[in-house]
Amino acid sequence: MTPVIIALLILVAPTSPERQAEVIAIGEAIEHVADEFGYDKWRLAALTVKESRVRCDVVGDLGERGPGQVMAKYLPGISNKDLSDPFLGVVAVGMALDRWKAEKPEEDPWECYASGNICRARGAMRRLARIEEQLKAAYVVDALASGEELDTIEAAL
């Protein structure tokens, strides 16, 4: 398992095999999307924790869905059903971040996303950064307890 998946499992602490499988699937999707879209995997993982507690079946008050709480109407070719899939739900996050980068180049796409399109909402970014640090800390503690070398741990962060 990758460091991000380990950290998600520790932070979310799934209590059933089905829930554990869901967290692992979302973690694998995060790794893929981070590589494919060029986004930081730890920040992407933190976003899924903040938005949905790493769940696929969450539906927000405004109809946002999936692990990233994305609204399908803003992403051509993506349906509500797609957003409930672990892989496609995280791919939609990458697509949404790319859309913000293109439409609002002067803004930080992470800040726009984390604040629900109210770019420059610093509180949302502070919360996202705090979750990101919690994920990294969970991984480091687990890796140290497992006897991993410091160089290996640092490289994963």
d(CA 24, CA 16): 12
Cβ-based neighbours of 44, under 8 Å, separated by 6 or more: 30, 33, 34, 90, 93, 94
d(CA 41, CA 44): 5
pLDDT of residue 142: 96
pLDDT of residue 121: 78
Confidence (pTM) = 0.92
Helix 3-12, helix 17-37: angle, nearest 10: 140
Tens place of pLDDT for every residue, the chain, 157 residues? 999 999 999 999 999 999 999 999 999 999 999 999 999 999 999 999 999 999 999 999 988 999 999 999 888 889 999 999 999 999 999 999 999 899 989 999 999 888 887 887 788 899 999 999 999 999 999 999 999 999 999 999 9
Domains in the chain, CATH or no CATH each: 3-156 (1.10.530)
pLDDT of residue 115: 84
pLDDT of residue 123: 87
Q: What is the largest CA-CA distance in the chain?
A: 47
